[in-house]
Amino acid sequence: MFIDITSELESALIDLTLPTWKLDGPALAASTMEEYRTELASCPQFAETATTLRRALTAKDGGYAVLRLGRLAKALGADDDSFLRLATGFAAEVAVPFSPFPRWPLWKDIGVKVDKDPGKSSGIGYNAFHMDLVNGTLPPDYTTLLCVRPDPLGGGPSILSDAHAAVARLSEDHRALLAESGYHYGTFYDLHSVGEEYKPFPILDGDRGEGFVRFTAKMLERSELGQEHADAARALAEELVRGQVSFMLQAGDYLIVNQRRFLHGREALQSGQADIPAEDRRLLLQLFLRAASGTGSAA
């Protein structure tokens, strides 16, 4: 769902100055969340917009939303602290913002590095469907991406797919294999607030239709999986692609994904990235959210 905000709300937000946030460990402090909520609630149509956002993320047929903040970004500057505080305020209406990376601030830069593994988030190639922090026992309930600059060459559309709908299209045999603890991927270090390393793990983790689908397509190439488990994961990857939606994020667009429902990725960036100065390449800012109850519902 794409959510536009009214011109009246935009005008109020442009004139609003939210204070610098405070952290409680890795998470946005409760005092800051309350202060932001109080200030934003005074803006016309903010409460209605926040309700629409939460419903888009948690309704039975929902799971992701793009909040269109482009005119705000243009007025304030997409990388300006005042705009980032407004985006954080919207995020705090969904769940508790936090950073699982001690070496990074609350928002993590995802730029473009031409010498990086092309399949990584900061690479230039196809970034296949995945769940963030897939191998933590307590992965973020939501992953969010704020677009500061799209690819100036026009590539890199975001892709999303309903993970549970993809699973439902699989055979019962494949679903049974995906529910077994036969999968592993990646490393696990220098992290906090995402539990312990989960290895091995089931792809289908929790109640059908509600639990995480712990999948990353990279496990098919970079993890040694048993043949039957690999075949089941490959079948899931194909269904995710079959059911995907694709769209281009523009400057100021704020994508929020409920990780209990949708997986995400990105198509390849347009060729010629090495010819673009690093400071002009695509730039996203990433923020993770933890639902207060740990169930994916709003804070």
**pLDDT, position 292:** 80
Strands 142-149, 253-258: pairing is antiparallel
Counting residues of the chain whose pLDDT is more than 90, the rounded percentage is 89
State the Cα–Cα distance between residues 170 and 148, nearest whole angstrom.
37
**What is the tens place of the pLDDT at every residue in 230-286?**
999 999 999 999 999 999 999 999 999 999 999 999 999 999 999 999 999 999 999
Q: How confident is the model at residue 38 (pLDDT cuts 50, 70, 90)?
A: very high
Q: How far apart are CA 209 and CA 165, in angstroms?
A: 8
Cα–Cα distance between 1 and 289 in angstroms, integer? 19
Query: pLDDT value at position 26?
Result: 95
Q: Is the pTM of this model over 0.85?
A: yes
Rg (alpha carbons) of the chain, rounded to whole number: 19
Cβ count near 74 (within 10 Å): 12
**DSSP notation for 62-98:** --EEEEE-HHHHHHH-TT-HHHHHHHHHHHHTTSEEE
Q: Which domains are assigned to the chain?
A: 2-290 (3.60.130.10)
Task: Please state, in angstroms and rounded to a whole number, the distance separating the CA atoms of residues 187 and 198.
Answer: 10
Residue with the two structure tokens 């997986």:
263
d(CA 208, CA 158): 26
How confident is residue 294, by pLDDT bands cut at 50, 70 and 90?
A: very low
